[in-house]
Structure 1
């Protein structure tokens, strides 16, 4: 799949998950260093917000926006996922004054399972997935230019429809 970075085309490796697909097994690490997998979220509705690098303006805004909108989402857990280091995620939370669920894709299971790896930049593609309690994707957006924001309104609408 091709997307852009500030208008310049780049490739996303793998096969991207879309609406109707079941999420693939993955391993992530939370800010405390504890490994989590898709099994830890079984039976829960999820909004998975994926961003390339928390230390950029769009990624910062995306994470803050979903944090602010979280109170309007019922029965849905918001997961913020990148391949940033735990130090970077913890520093961002401390600096921003926000205590949000930040997960680091430290191995390749998440990026391969969702088909989101951009090898040219060694980051995940900006994307949003809404997943129902059965692990089925009900909403998917891979942002066409990684310098653009996702469609917050549509993602929240999809999460609230679960």
Structure 2
């Protein structure tokens, strides 16, 4: 997959993890050096966003997610912002986990590592049972995510899991 950024073309090093596949629990490191886990089955719907850079536009979009989730009474969702390494300054965002992919497990397992070793601008929704419910990998790093589409998918992912398995 080719990704555009200004006048450059980057490529993904691997195939992205597709909808329906089981997500993997991976560890990230926050700016204080503490390790935390995202992905996998944790009983909560998860919104995982990886980016190659953090700018005001992205911060605004993350706040839009917070507002829409709040207006739609969608609490208890794990929200994480992931960058490739500690050369990035992680923003202090209330209710968001922010971390570095220090061991490259997120980039490798989710298939979002770019040819320049940064992470693609991607959004994954993981259902309560740990499956990839939806993903969006942007072809242009300057474009915003489809917040409305992601919100609809979060609502669906949050409501479809009954906890009784596929025969319940």
TM-score, normalised by the number of residues in structure 2: 0.79
Which is higher, the Rg of structure 1 or of structure 2? 2
**Deviation beyond 4 Å, 4+ runs, structure 1:** none
State the shift of 1:106 in Å: 1.4
Q: Please list every run of 5 or more consecutive structure 2 residues that lacks an aligned counterpart in the other structure.
A: 159-168
State the shift of 1:19 in Å: 0.8
**Corresponding position of 2:154:** 159
1:12-161 to 2 correspondences below 5 Å: 12-38=12-38, 42-54=42-54, 56-71=55-70, 72=72, 73-85=74-86, 88-89=89-90, 92-93=91-92, 98-99=93-94, 100-120=96-116, 122-161=117-156
RMSD of Structure 2 on Structure 1 (CA): 2.3
Q: Please list every run of 5 or more consecutive structure 1 residues that lacks an aligned counterpart in the other structure.
A: none
For the residues of structure 2 that align with 1:39 and 1:48, how far apart are their CA atoms? Answer: 8
**Matched-pair contact (CA < 8 Å) for 2:20–2:132:** yes
For the residues of structure 1 that align with 2:39 and 2:10, how far apart are their CA atoms? Answer: 32
SS of 1:110's equivalent in the other structure is helix
SS of 1:65's equivalent in the other structure is helix
Provide, for residues 41-81 of structure 1, a one-character-per-residue CA deviation record: whole Å limited to 9, x for no partner.
62221011222122x23333333332333323344221111
TM-score, normalised by the number of residues in structure 1: 0.82
Aligned length: 154
